[in-house]
Structure 1
Amino acid sequence: MPRRRKVITGKQPPLEVDLTDPQYYFNREISWLEFNNRVLHEAFDPRTPLLERLKFMAIFSSNLDEYFMVRVAALKEQVAANVARRSVDGHTAQEQLGMISQRLRPLVAQQHRHFEQALRPQLATKGVYLLDYIDLNQEQRTYLQQYFDEQIFPVLTPLAIDPGHPFPYISNLSLNMAVVIQDPANGEELFARVKVPKILPRFLPLPEHLRLQQKDVPAAWTAVPLEQVIAHNLESLFPGMRIQEYYPFRITRDGDLEVAEDEADDLMLAIEQELRKRRFGGSIVRLEVHASMPELVRDMLRQEMELGETDVYEVEGLLCLSDLFALNGLPLPELKDPPWRSTLPSRLRRSMEVDRGSLDVEEDLFAVIRKQDLMLHHPYDSFSNTVQRFLTQAAHDPDVLAIKTTLYRTSGDSPIVDALIAAAENGKQVSVLVELKARFDEENNINWARKLESVGVHVVYGLVGLKTHTKVMLIVRREEGRIRRYVHIGTGNYNPKTARLYTDIGLLSCREDLGADLTDLFNYLTGYSRQQSYRKLLVAPVNLRDRMLSLIHRESEHASNGHHARIVAKMNALVDPAMIVALYQASQAGVQIDLIVRGMCCLRPQLPGISENIRVISIVGRFLEHSRIFYFHNQGKEEVFIGSADWMTRNLDRRVEAVVPIDDPAIAKDLEEILGILLADNRQAWDLQTDGHYIQRRPATGVSEQSSQRMLMDMAQQQ
């Protein structure tokens, strides 16, 4: 693929431009931090209901935990190994760590300042009080003293640190207190660590009669941080000693797994061993401390943990704001988004009596699919009444012979797994590829794999060196003496819980070529196969990259020949350099390109002579934008695809992914309409600027606010 192209800008002579030059790329780590900044902005936006703002605060913190466990840990490993490789934007691992620290510190300070100075007071005006222990009255303190003695004290284990007691192991993401103690017998200053137990609520609620009451504001909830209750009762842990000082701190460890698959006789056993290492042994990559912690204590912790000064993050206020997720469970619907109940696609309804609220549902999903392909758009369309019912019907249908599916992530009480078990117990041939390497779901998937194997399901764990990320299901059914194959191909996991929170697209079909392709794909996944061609599917790492590049180059050729050319692509991340070069070339040829990229985007839009025809937006809202949709104009013979793959090197080269063309014209038009609605969003859309910053769209004067997610919810209800 040529990487240089003559560019003519104005009347200047042709310039030789190297499209791989680092100046044309954003750093992926900083781009991810910009995404998390957009998440944090939802916590600042007064248009977001109050408890939802707390939820976004929690998501921001939870995202950061994973970021340090994976991305920062990987960069630190590169530094330790003296890896000289530079990122696509030209930076070493050490330089990137410095960039992360510089960008992240003001964000963290901004988050905590907003929580303490804005959100906590706003919560109080609604009767929700998160109090500090020092602000309690005597009656409240007496209650918490008794609660401490009965419920907390027996759980705590103070750990001394001295020559006879080495520095204790600190578990990942645990909240702790560094306690400075004085022995009155000799005046010696001692040090101890107390872990705040996770088995107790982070915020201890007070009984109704002790809630803080304000005039005209009914007290809905009053609570105190658990660590403050422990801190004010430390004398019980160290009787006869003087408590001098106490300071909360928290650590983050390397959480990625390193499994040498080609050397592992038993992949499940190897991953279980690595999970134990994650829990008990990953190197520390971040130390969070309260701003009041003095340098002496901070340096002692830092040295014991072998951390540099840039690895320490100072926090004003409460540590671990991810625990704010708990407040979203308060029974205060007026402070939350209106509840959303997914609807049933119109083709699955035989009749509906609106006044009486009854719904006559089409029972035979196979009959519906035989008539025409069916597109599902979650969470607007119900997952449980479509995908889940599709599998459940197959599990109990006497004409179904076999079920094959992939499981990347699923819920802890998964009805999907229950249906697969029922199918096996009903005598079906059931094959499931459980991806044991799904990050942070490894343990859950091991448990599911064992449960499935115990009832006779054929369970496989994927291919050596590849994660199986595709979301596909194949149902083999006998109908009137012939075999018919039904398929589901989607962009999201078979997880009923996330299907209510993530936007995803799914296709239900019985097209023969798709059924044959999925048969070949499952043979590739479960047996020995070097399948290199598929009838319809674009499969990574086989043909997906080449096919996507050829589709982009085709639009470039059309534009070069004077025809209208357009690409619209929606994905979670755009990182792969070859795909970015192809998009730059397409822009130079005159292709109009709109990219809807939720998270990381390393492409720099609107560069004169390079990407002036490329616009990039990100949508962050109530639902997590997770669907992948790809549109190519193709001189009016439009082609639309959906699938599981982002344009990242890992997805294109190191994962098994499946992208499917949409052959049904009506569904293709529906997908184009969805893309159009997303591109018109002026409520939750952010425009990526040439310098890497994002600017949130606001309605122009006289223009109504258009939230794409709100519009899609309204459209689903109006069916």
Structure 2
Amino acid sequence: MESLFPGMNIQEYHPFRITRDADLVLEEDEADDLLLAIEQELRKRRLGGSPVRLEIQSQTPEIVRSRLLHDLELTESDLYEVDGLLGLRDLMNFMSLPLPELKDPPRQSVVPIRLQRLREPSLDPDVLETEEGKDFFAVIREKDLLVHHPYQSFSATVVRFITHAAYDPNVLAIKMTLYRTSGDSPIVNALIAAAENGKQVSVLVELKARFDEENNIYWARRLERVGVHVVYGLVGLKTHSKTVMVVRREKDQIRRYVHIGTGNYNQKTARLYTDLGLFSCREELGADITDLFNFLTGYSLQKSYRELLVAPVNMRDRFLALIHREIENVQNGFSGRIVAKMNSLVDPQIITTLYEASCAGVQIDLIIRGVCCLRPGLKDISENIRIISIVGRFLEHSRIYYFHNNTQEEIYIGSADWMRRNLDRRVEVITPVKDPDIAKDLQEIMGIMLADNRQAWELQADGTYIQRRPYDDSPEANSQKILMNMALRSTGVASNLID
């Protein structure tokens, strides 16, 4: 304080923090050019939006408190008292200090064993595939492939898939949704190369991705300059789905290859966020993704899909039906179980239906990393619901949904949380996992997380969290560390296991 106010006698100081509204106010249906309209709104954001929240330290005097509320035109309901630091983001600066002994040990992402001997795309479309030199598409044709980031390399899987498609002479078209991507994106560079190589490239760039608007405008313009067909999505809806489709000519047929993920096509966050992705060339998924892109580009009013759960078309109804099916199974004398992993659980209708399931006797385990508006363990309401949040080295971002279905288990992954915005105001995609081996892998991942006794925090009935600790002499079970080591062992890199 003496440095800020030299020569003055500092009697008191009271830190406060203001949160401003950063939403863009857009009349999409009236905008002649959505890109230009968003650019204009971004200029307004830089000038500062209206205050919506005031955080102060709990010992702040009433006179300061009242003055702040008055001058910011806020009410008591907008005021939050905080014990401790107000700007926790500043603690990230400590990560730049040269103190490796206080940081997580270095780690490496691995290349899935099925992708370790890929050959690069050949300029000769008639080149034969050898057993030790398959291309990416041959691997997917054998069977579906699941990738788990950051334990498995994003560059060697997703980026490589799109790069292969960009240079493969048999690839006719690439279609993709982009919500957030990195500043120097190898994926966008691959899409540009694909267009320059004469392929039909269509990309839906979500210009309304909050705080990434400027970055997405830059990429949209760059893609358009090389001939990529860029669309901005549907009026009134954000496109949050994570999907790629590659259309390839193979002998006497056309085959569609898809990637459906839980996370953004962003190489930087893929090192920090846990996410899943499914590669497949199953005809049903290819047809559904084709219908999805027609829906996104305005060429159809698609109301049904063969396998996909698509918001806001059928996802809410399908999830409610899956929960109700577990209720009916219990009522008919069978067992019922639901396990779901997501970022946030907010939707009132889903929460009410989960309470109904709990009252019916369905056993429910939820892994909710962030906001959770459901209270577990309430007598006669949610006694059969247990909730944990895993907070560790990586940000838990993947979404997985498991339904027991009277031993005919069904499991899904995709981009949507159980929130109103995801189910009603965004285009989201959830895919069923049909391959039994992949389904078992996903169940194992959730089982490891549910058994975590180091990074897991249990939500209590009163809304507080208690961190799990190993009991007595039981071993520590750190789920993220276990998954790191499983990935290393799967490729024979056992010498670099994380202690």
TM-score if structure 2 supplies the norm length? 0.89
Partner residue of 2:98 out of 331, 336, 352:
331
**What are the residue-to-residue correspondences of 1:65-144 with 2, within 5 Å?**
none
Q: Does 1:569 align with 2:340?
A: yes
User: Which SS does the other structure have where 1:545 is aligned?
Assistant: helix
Q: Which residue of 1 aligns with 2:125?
A: none
Q: Does 1:258 align with 2:6?
A: no
The amino acid across from 1:564 in the alignment is S
**What are the residue-to-residue correspondences of 1:180-259 with 2, within 5 Å?**
229-232=3-6, 243=8, 251-259=18-26
Post-superposition CA distance 1:446-481 (Å, at most 9, x none): 111111111111111110111111000000111113
Partner residue of 1:556 out of 327, 339, 344:
327
Q: Which residue of 2 aligns with 1:469?
A: 240
Q: 1:361 to 1:386 in 2, by over 3 A?
A: farther
Q: 1:349 to 1:292 in 2, by over 3 A?
A: same
Post-superposition CA distance 1:155-206 (Å, at most 9, x none): xxxxxxxxxxxxxxxxxxxxxxxxxxxxxxxxxxxxxxxxxxxxxxxxxxxx
Q: Which residue of 2 aligns with 1:238?
A: none
Alignment RMSD: 2.6
Q: Which residue of 2 aligns with 1:525?
A: 296
| Cα distance in structure 1, aligned partners of 2:107 and 2:3 | 38
**How far off is 1:230 after superposition?**
5.0
| Cα distance in structure 1, aligned partners of 2:2 and 2:254 | 66
User: Which SS does the other structure have where 2:256 is aligned?
Assistant: strand
Partner residue of 2:175 out of 401, 404, 408:
404
The amino acid across from 2:293 in the alignment is F
**How far off is 1:292 after superposition?**
10
Q: Does 1:668 align with 2:435?
A: no
Post-superposition CA distance 1:298-351 (Å, at most 9, x none): 776665443457767788998644233233122321110011211111211249
Post-superposition CA distance 1:700-719 (Å, at most 9, x none): 11211101111001100111
**What are the residue-to-residue correspondences of 1:344-359 with 2, within 5 Å?**
344-350=111-117
Partner residue of 1:340 out of 101, 107, 115:
107
**How far off is 1:271 after superposition?**
1.5
The amino acid across from 2:466 in the alignment is I
User: Which SS does the other structure have where 1:659 is aligned?
Assistant: strand
Q: Which residue of 1 aligns with 2:384?
A: 613
Q: Which residue of 2 aligns with 1:705?
A: 476
Q: Does 1:382 align with 2:149?
A: no
The amino acid across from 1:619 in the alignment is I
| Cα distance in structure 2, aligned partners of 1:597 and 1:296 | 40
**How far off is 1:602 after superposition?**
1.6
| Cα distance in structure 1, aligned partners of 2:117 and 2:16 | 59
**How far off is 1:664 after superposition?**
0.5
Q: Does 1:629 align with 2:419?
A: no
Q: Does 1:367 align with 2:138?
A: yes
Which runs of 5 or more structure 1 residues have no equivalent in the other structure?
Answer: 1-226, 233-241, 352-359
Q: 1:695 to 1:321 in 2, by over 3 A?
A: closer
**How far off is 1:412 after superposition?**
1.0
Q: 1:306 to 1:382 in 2, by over 3 A?
A: same
Q: Does 1:280 align with 2:61?
A: no
User: Which SS does the other structure have where 2:254 is aligned?
Assistant: strand
Post-superposition CA distance 1:540-563 (Å, at most 9, x none): 111111111111111111111111
| Cα distance in structure 1, aligned partners of 2:414 and 2:276 | 8
User: Which SS does the other structure have where 1:687 is aligned?
Assistant: strand
| Cα distance in structure 2, aligned partners of 1:316 and 1:585 | 37
* Contact 1:597 1:616 survives alignment (8 Å): yes
Q: Tell me the matched-pair count.
A: 476
**How far off is 1:567 after superposition?**
1.0
| Cα distance in structure 1, aligned partners of 2:325 and 2:76 | 51
| Cα distance in structure 2, aligned partners of 1:551 and 1:595 | 15
* Structure with larger Rg: 1
* Contact 2:117 2:134 survives alignment (8 Å): no
**How far off is 1:682 after superposition?**
0.6
Q: Which residue of 2 aligns with 1:516?
A: 287
The amino acid across from 1:623 in the alignment is F
* Contact 1:348 1:361 survives alignment (8 Å): no
Q: 1:451 to 1:293 in 2, by over 3 A?
A: same
Q: 1:312 to 1:552 in 2, by over 3 A?
A: closer
Q: 1:367 to 1:463 in 2, by over 3 A?
A: same
* Contact 1:555 1:632 survives alignment (8 Å): yes
The amino acid across from 1:473 in the alignment is V
Q: 1:427 to 1:697 in 2, by over 3 A?
A: same
Q: Does 1:271 align with 2:38?
A: yes
**How far off is 1:607 after superposition?**
2.3
The amino acid across from 1:403 in the alignment is I
Q: Which residue of 1 aligns with 2:489?
A: 718
| Cα distance in structure 2, aligned partners of 1:602 and 1:288 | 22
**How far off is 1:371 after superposition?**
0.6
User: Which SS does the other structure have where 1:367 is aligned?
Assistant: helix
User: Which SS does the other structure have where 1:527 is aligned?
Assistant: coil
Q: Which residue of 2 aligns with 1:139?
A: none
Q: 1:559 to 1:297 in 2, by over 3 A?
A: closer
Q: 1:315 to 1:592 in 2, by over 3 A?
A: closer
**How far off is 1:494 after superposition?**
0.3
| Cα distance in structure 2, aligned partners of 1:567 and 1:309 | 40
Post-superposition CA distance 1:63-85 (Å, at most 9, x none): xxxxxxxxxxxxxxxxxxxxxxx
User: Which SS does the other structure have where 2:243 is aligned?
Assistant: strand
Give the stretch that moved more between structures: 498-507 or 683-692.
683-692
Q: 1:313 to 1:556 in 2, by over 3 A?
A: closer
Q: 1:684 to 1:267 in 2, by over 3 A?
A: same
Q: Which residue of 1 aligns with 2:493?
A: none
Partner residue of 1:579 out of 347, 350, 358:
350
The amino acid across from 2:49 in the alignment is G
Partner residue of 1:446 out of 197, 201, 217:
217
| Cα distance in structure 2, aligned partners of 1:480 and 1:231 | 77
User: Which SS does the other structure have where 1:440 is aligned?
Assistant: coil
**What are the residue-to-residue correspondences of 1:315-330 with 2, within 5 Å?**
320-330=87-97
* Contact 1:349 1:362 survives alignment (8 Å): no
Q: Which residue of 2 aligns with 1:597?
A: 368
User: Which SS does the other structure have where 1:324 is aligned?
Assistant: helix
User: Which SS does the other structure have where 2:406 is aligned?
Assistant: helix
* Contact 1:257 1:275 survives alignment (8 Å): yes
**What are the residue-to-residue correspondences of 1:24-43 with 2, within 5 Å?**
none
| Cα distance in structure 2, aligned partners of 1:579 and 1:506 | 25
| Cα distance in structure 2, aligned partners of 1:702 and 1:545 | 44
TM-score if structure 1 supplies the norm length? 0.63
Q: Does 1:658 align with 2:425?
A: no
Q: Does 1:506 align with 2:277?
A: yes
The amino acid across from 2:98 in the alignment is P
* Contact 1:466 1:656 survives alignment (8 Å): yes
Q: 1:624 to 1:496 in 2, by over 3 A?
A: same
**How far off is 1:564 after superposition?**
1.7
Post-superposition CA distance 1:10-35 (Å, at most 9, x none): xxxxxxxxxxxxxxxxxxxxxxxxxx
**How far off is 1:290 after superposition?**
8.4
